[in-house]
Structure 1
Amino acid sequence: MTRAVLLNDTSARYHHGCSRVSRLLKAGLAARGVEITASALAHTDWTRTPGFLSALEAAELVVINGEGTLHGGAEKGQLLLNVVDHPAARGKPVAVVNTIWQNNPPDWADILRRCALVSARDSASHANLLAAGVEQAVHVPDLSLSERVEPPTGGRKGLVVGDSVRHSVRTHLARYAQRQHATFVPSKTLTSTLWSRWPARHLLWRVYNGVFSGKVPDFMMARDEAAYLEILSGAMGHVTGRFHGVCYSILAELPFLAVGSVTSKVQVLVADAGLNPDRVIPVEALADLPLPPPFDETELGNLRRYKEDAQDKAQDLFDRIARLA
């Protein structure tokens, strides 16, 4: 087995997109004889994670899950990249995978040019990396798409409304769910049984979304990624403000409309998948929004090719990472 460490492990984020990415990344590497001997969880300081530095010293490979972190020159992104020059990582190949790359300082590109492998999760990030001189960069769609999902064969019914990382957008989405009598299903979850009980559950919905008037709609928190995918697979439409909400819609072949996020990642994902750009809407459109339109034949064909491409490229990526050591 090849010993590796993983930075920005998103498995403990209670976010169905993040947990799916982490699971599939680890499984893809394990199937090729790469053992993750230590992980530094997302939003933690890896230099202070118990046992991580000793595992880094003993590792043969360093893997950084870039995910939604490497944009805007954010401090947490700099912390991830600092591992490249750490004495314990000296001489070891570093793979940066599943990363966004947008509006970052030039010295970050200098660091990435010294990495053995860099994989961008969208075409715009890939183009930005190449323009910054990171010539080894490749494009592999988000790893949440790397495992095949069989589209549902039964009937679909009902509208699911998701959440957003931005509180103001969550509020608009929640009010839209009220007007449409939709089921509100965030892409995050809380595991305590407290939140399954009324009135705690209703209070959580109101505080989380900032909506303190009107009826609380049907509110579900999927217990895990499989349950989240099952809910979406049974719906006839999805309106979301989350990047991974769109990824799950693509997996389930569920017609969707999406409010843009804090970066251009949703717009680029929709374009990369060959879908109608009108599926990305401004938040103001939620005031008078119809149900998501069905995919036309062109969209559905593009979507299916995109999923197949994502799966093939992910397998090749895992092979390449395993060969680094």
Structure 2
Amino acid sequence: MRAVILNDTSTRYHHGCARVMRLLAEGLERHGLSVTARSPARHDWAADEGFLDAMRAAQVIVVNGEGTLHHGRPAGARLLEVAGHPARGATPLALVNALWQDNPESWSAPLSRFDLIAARDSESARAMAGAAGRDARWLPDLSLSAPAHVAPLPRHGVIVGDSVKPGPRRVLGRAATRLDAATLVPTKTLNGGPWRFAPARAALAAAWYGGLGLPALEMPATEAAYLDRIARARLHLTGRFHAVCLSMLTETPFLALGSNASKIERLLADAGLGPSRLLPPEALAEPPGEAPFTEDEVQAIRRFREMAQDRAEALFADIAALARRNA
């Protein structure tokens, strides 16, 4: 059975997105589906004849919602257009791993034409169920749907991540200069030759974090290396949703700044952690050097990860069942 995927975010130089796409493809393949084509994020899939041909030949179309469907963004509207595209025909359509926030009423009609709707947080599921007039399930972000496979190592130092927004990025950069044993480790990465050299990385850090005198910048080249780096930290300061997910995955204490939607707030609420690990920017004027988890937090995170794995496996099985009906 053949599947195609829209909104492949693995091309975004982003370890969290790369992990989501890897686990999505592997999950589909475990249940008998062959992914025959992927349309990258922000790609004009409707003008890509090769992709449209693969869509016509597929038994199921999977749309990776991720962080695209919020605030009526044009990229989100283009994704939803697949529901009425002639190349779709009557092929079953699954929306997975989706955030849904503050979208226009006009998005309700195309959403209602999806055969399966799966949010990555409970609030998005409620909003999509209301918009589509049908059931919508939720499960934690797919980055949490498999173990980290990192060896237990001694923890030391603070790693400081980044944010999709320039303001929080600058706040994180300033916080890093005030910490002992801090290292800049953004979720996004560049693997080209020049970035292997310290002067180039220092220039990139100054541009990205908006300051000078910053600690060393590390850019792990792979998802596995990034997970290993998080797992060795005593504390992770970040403004990235997936950085929080992967901190949970490795049980690394974290403190986060808000992102470009309420994705981190929703993640913490669903995981049973509450709002205490989400900080206002002014709280990092004097950044802490540690913020250990309580035993209750550790147990909540472990339950959340177990839920993620169980519900993801059920999701992949249900997508395969849709495809079999169309085989």
TM over 0.5: yes
> Conserved in 2, the CA contact under 8 Å of 1:257 and 1:292?
no
Q: 1:16 to 1:60 in 2, by over 3 A?
A: same
Mapping for residues 176-255 of structure 1, pairs under 5 Å: 176-181=175-180, 182-211=182-211, 213=212, 215-255=213-253
Amino acid at match of 1:5: V
CA deviation after TM superposition for structure 1 residue 291, in Å: 2.8
What percent of counterpart residues are identical? 49
Q: Does 1:135 align with 2:134?
A: yes
> Conserved in 2, the CA contact under 8 Å of 1:152 and 1:234?
no
4+ runs deviating over 4 angstroms: none
Q: Deviations over 1:240-285 (max 9, x none)?
A: 0000010010000011100010111101101111114110001121
> Conserved in 2, the CA contact under 8 Å of 1:40 and 1:52?
yes
Map of 2:304 onto structure 1 = 306
Counterpart secondary structure, 2:195: helix
> Conserved in 1, the CA contact under 8 Å of 2:69 and 2:100?
yes
Alignment partners' CA distance in 2, 1:55 and 1:259: 40
> Conserved in 1, the CA contact under 8 Å of 2:112 and 2:131?
no
> Conserved in 1, the CA contact under 8 Å of 2:202 and 2:216?
no
Q: Which runs of 5+ in 2 are unaligned?
A: none
Q: Does 1:15 align with 2:14?
A: yes
> Conserved in 2, the CA contact under 8 Å of 1:152 and 1:252?
no
Amino acid at match of 1:107: S
Amino acid at match of 1:302: A
**Of the candidates 278, 281, 285, which is equivalent to residue 280 of structure 1?**
278
CA deviation after TM superposition for structure 1 residue 209, in Å: 1.3
Map of 2:72 onto structure 1 = 73
Q: Deviations over 1:180-223 (max 9, x none)?
A: 03111000110101011132111111011111x3x230210010
User: If the length of structure 2 is used for normalisation, what is the TM-score?
Assistant: 0.96
Amino acid at match of 2:322: L
Map of 2:168 onto structure 1 = 169
Alignment partners' CA distance in 2, 1:139 and 1:98: 8
> Conserved in 1, the CA contact under 8 Å of 2:179 and 2:287?
no
RMSD: 1.2
CA deviation after TM superposition for structure 1 residue 48, in Å: 2.4
Alignment partners' CA distance in 2, 1:18 and 1:141: 14
> Conserved in 2, the CA contact under 8 Å of 1:240 and 1:256?
yes
> Conserved in 1, the CA contact under 8 Å of 2:111 and 2:131?
no
> Conserved in 2, the CA contact under 8 Å of 1:100 and 1:122?
yes
> Conserved in 2, the CA contact under 8 Å of 1:70 and 1:77?
yes
> Conserved in 1, the CA contact under 8 Å of 2:148 and 2:227?
no
Q: Does 1:261 align with 2:259?
A: yes
Amino acid at match of 2:317: D
Alignment partners' CA distance in 2, 1:133 and 1:19: 29
Map of 1:53 onto structure 2 = 52
Aligned length: 322
Amino acid at match of 1:207: A
Alignment partners' CA distance in 2, 1:198 and 1:302: 40
CA deviation after TM superposition for structure 1 residue 127, in Å: 1.6
Amino acid at match of 1:205: A
Counterpart secondary structure, 1:163: coil
CA deviation after TM superposition for structure 1 residue 15, in Å: 0.1
Counterpart secondary structure, 1:189: coil
Q: Which runs of 5+ in 1 are unaligned?
A: none
> Conserved in 2, the CA contact under 8 Å of 1:151 and 1:251?
no
Q: Deviations over 1:3-57 (max 9, x none)?
A: 1111001121110010000000000001111111111100111112351111111
Q: 1:152 to 1:277 in 2, by over 3 A?
A: farther
Q: Does 1:87 align with 2:86?
A: yes
